Amino acid sequence: MKKQSRFVFSVLVFGYAFLYIPLASVIVYSFNDSKLATVWGGFSTRWYVELFKNEQILDAAFLSLRIATTSATLATIFGTMAGLILVRFGRFRGQTLFSGMITAPLVMPEVITGLSLLLLFVSLQQLIGWPAQRGFTTITIAHTTFSMAYVAVIVRSRLATMDESLEEAAMDLGCRPLRIVFDITLPLIAPAMIAGWLLAFTLSLDDLVIASFVSGPGSSTLPMYIFSKVKLGVTPDINALASLIILIISILVFAAWFTARRSQAST
Amino acid sequence: MALKKRQGALWQRITIAVPYLWLFVFFLLPFGIILKISLADPVIAQPPFTPFFDADGGLSITIDNFLFLLTDKLYAVTYIKSIFMAATAMVLCLALGFPMAYGIARANPTTRSLLLLLIVLPFWISFLLRVYAWMGLLNNYGVINNFLMWVGFIDQPIQMMYTDFAIFIGLTYTYLPFMILPLYATLERMDLDLVDAAQDLGASRTIAFWDITWPLARPGVIAGCLLVFIPAMGEYVIPYLLGGPDTLLIGRVLFDEFFVNRDWPLASSVAIMLLLILVVPIVFLQRSQARDAEATS
């Protein structure tokens, strides 16, 4: 192992400081007693207590979790199907259009996706009366559409590196194709599907712009609620909420990393 | 291809049809509608645009919106400013991301996986909250100004919030991982002996970098730059929260045309224009990724 040059080392230190100092400062200030979020007024946990008394936040968080769970599940189903189609089905009519449609959402600016879906929902409502109101259903549809592309990419790269001989052996032994998919292919790509579900779940919880377009009055997700508050500046209760989210996610990600490393070390 | 032999079985057709139909209805069709509405006139009605067909069944379309966008000076400034902001963020991400990706790729395996994890971790934390974190730092009475005043470096706060500087910070901060990950992937595959050989043969560090490392890292540089530039062009939240009220960027103009002015046709035209600007980098990105996939398989 060669030693890193001093330049590279100092950029690394600077880069990680740049990435983590903002997060650390939010956590520190969430324990600030002062109502003025930027003036230190002593240690306190009162903003955390107030967080759990705020019904608007709790409602918004609950709606976001419901949407994220539903859309991640749908996205995993559709995305896995799409990945299978692209890698295992060979050519079919309209394949170019299909692969274009599945990769385009990855790079589409959010404002365009949001606007186009809202216009679709408005037109559909005029034509067939559905969706009668915008909220849970429309946001779920929007999130499913863009996150299935991410799932498809993950599943596709897993399938592409996977050995096909197991599937071929089962085929030679007379197994029906549908059973091969359920008994061999799906169990083998399960880790990719789980990773895809988690990514879709996070993307949905994170989304502000698309949800702002396709939601209706009275249904605001957690990011929409946070945005409406932070528009006006830094507030102590959002500091507390942000710290909670940062801590929960860091613990989960580190736990996943440790388990992955240990299972790697043991094999 | 085991599953290919029984092409056309019913279950296969269903597997294709379900995601196909979903994407057709919720992805492709909406673009048709945007295009249609961008060719309509705004009216005060519900919905606020003229119908595609007029009362006699004739086609009623207009390209006024696009002419307006092309001739209005304000919009030209907006487009140029957006491109400039996204390009600057891209350069900043590259300047910071390249040495970082290089350092990560050269670290020993255990450190490397921890360093990579720390790059990916902010991805999972809400984007909005990460931008929000900077509001607390850049504020006139925020952490940075307080610190500088406490040290005695300055005696009154520097205005950082609501400036272009704050937008650059926000964009760089948010999109840095998009730059580092593809760069890391190419640098990690690179053969370091080449650099050593060049230096043994008398090349200076700078020459070795520009003649060997940089050309070999090019696919990663291109992918990283595009992955930063494309989303940064349409960014709405960062300019809204960190930028000044007179910083007009496309994403925000589109949002305001739609929600504040309720001019749906104009908002749709802005979307189409944004898409036209992005078509070139998007196609470029897909090409480079297809090449990359071929090279690795």
Interface test with B, best of A13, A18, A38, A65 (most B CBs within 10 A): A38
| Phi/psi at B43 (5° precision) | -135, 160
* Residue A8 counted as domain residue: no
Report the domain count for chain A: 1
* Res A155: pLDDT: 92
Say if residues A220 and A228 touch (Cβ distance below 8 Å): yes
**Average per-residue pLDDT in chain A?**
88
Query: Percentage of chain A surpassing pLDDT 70?
Result: 96
The reported pLDDT for the residue numbered B182 is: 92
Summarize the confidence of residues A97-105 as an average pLDDT: 85
Asked if B173 and B138 count as a contact pair (C-beta separation under 8 A), the reply is no
CB A227 within 8 A of CB B128: yes
Chain B residues whose CB is inside 8 A of the A102 CB are 19, 23
- Which of A98, A116, A156 has the most B C-beta neighbours within 10 Å, making it the best mutation to test the interface with B? A116
pLDDT, tens digit, 9 for 90 and up, residues A26-60: 999 889 887 776 677 788 888 898 888 889 899 99
Q: Is residue A267 a part of any domain in this protein?
A: no
Q: How many CB atoms lie within 10 A of CB A57?
A: 19
* B255 within 8 A of A111, measured Cβ to Cβ: yes
B16, B122, B176: residue with CB nearest A92: B16
B46 touches chain A (CB under 8 A): no
* Confidence (pLDDT) at B41: 81
Q: Report B:59-98 residues touching A (Cβ under 8 A).
A: 96-97
A3, pLDDT greater than 80? no
- Give the pLDDT of residue B1: 47
Average pLDDT over residues B152-175: 90
Please determine, for residue B6, whether its predicted confidence score (pLDDT) is greater than 70: no
How far apart, in whole angstroms, are the C-alpha atoms of residue A152 and residue A29? 40
Task: Tell which B residues from 235 to 294 touch A, by Cβ distance under 8 Å.
Answer: 236-237, 240-241, 250-251, 254-255, 258, 264, 267-268, 271, 274-275, 278, 282, 285-286
pLDDT digits (tens, 9 = 90+) for A122-167: 888 888 888 888 889 999 999 999 999 999 999 988 888 888 888 8
User: Within a domain: residue A107?
Assistant: yes
Q: Examine residue A238 and state whether it is found in any structural domain, yes or no.
A: no
- Spatial neighbors of B35 by CB under 8 A, at least 6 apart, are B268, B272
Q: What is the pLDDT of residues B178-221, one digit of tens each?
A: 999 999 999 988 877 888 888 888 888 888 888 888 888 888 99
- The pLDDT assigned to A109 comes to 86
- Chain A interface includes B113 (CB < 8 A): yes
A104 contacts B237? CB cut-off 8 A: no
Looking at per-residue confidence, does B187 or B123 come out higher? B187
Instruction: Give the SS3 label for residue B59.
Output: strand
> Shortest Cα distance from B216 to chain A (angstroms)?
18
CATH of the domain at A192: 1.10.3720.10
Nearest residue in A to B47, CA atom: A122
Do the Cβ atoms of A223 and A207 come closer than 8 Å?
yes
- Which residues span the domain enclosing A102? 62-231
Question: Are A89 and B12 an interchain contact pair (Cβ–Cβ within 8 Å)?
Answer: yes
Mean pLDDT of the B91-109 span: 93
Report the CATH architecture of B32-296: Orthogonal Bundle (1.10)
Q: Does B9 touch chain A (CB under 8 A)?
A: yes
In this structure, the dihedral spanned by the alpha carbons of residues B48, B50, B52 and B55, taken in order and rounded to 10 degrees, is 130
- In this structure, is residue A74 part of a structural domain? yes
Residues 211-240 in B contacting A (C-alpha not used; CB under 8 Å): 230-231, 233-234, 236-237, 240
For every residue of A158-213, DSSP letters joined together read HHHTS--HHHHHHHHTT--HHHHIIIIIHHHHHHHHHHHHHHHHHHHHH--HHHHH
Q: Which residue of A has its CA nearest to B250?
A: A111
Instruction: Give the Cα separation of B252 and B232 in Å (integer).
Output: 12
What's the predicted TM-score (pTM) here? 0.88
Residues of chain A neighbouring B124 (CB-CB closer than 8 A): 202, 249, 252-253
Centre a 10 Å sphere on the Cβ of residue A117 and count the other Cβ atoms it contains. 25
Across the interface, do B20 and A98 touch by the CB < 8 Å criterion?
yes
Is residue A265 domain-resident? Answer: no
Cβ pair A246:B115 closer than 8 A: no
pLDDT in tens, B25-60: 999 999 888 988 888 887 766 677 776 655 565 666
- What pLDDT is stored for residue A34 in this prediction? 79
Omega into B42 within 30° of 0, i.e. cis? no
A-B contacts (CB, under 8 Å): 257
Q: What is the C-alpha to C-alpha distance for residues B222 and B178, in angstroms, rounded to an integer?
A: 12
B1, B9, B267 ranked by CB distance to A90: nearest: B1
- The dihedrals phi and psi of B124, each to the nearest 5 degrees, come to -80, -20
A177 closest CB neighbour out of B3, B146, B230: B3
Q: Is residue A123 part of a domain?
A: yes
CA distance B136 to chain A (A): 6
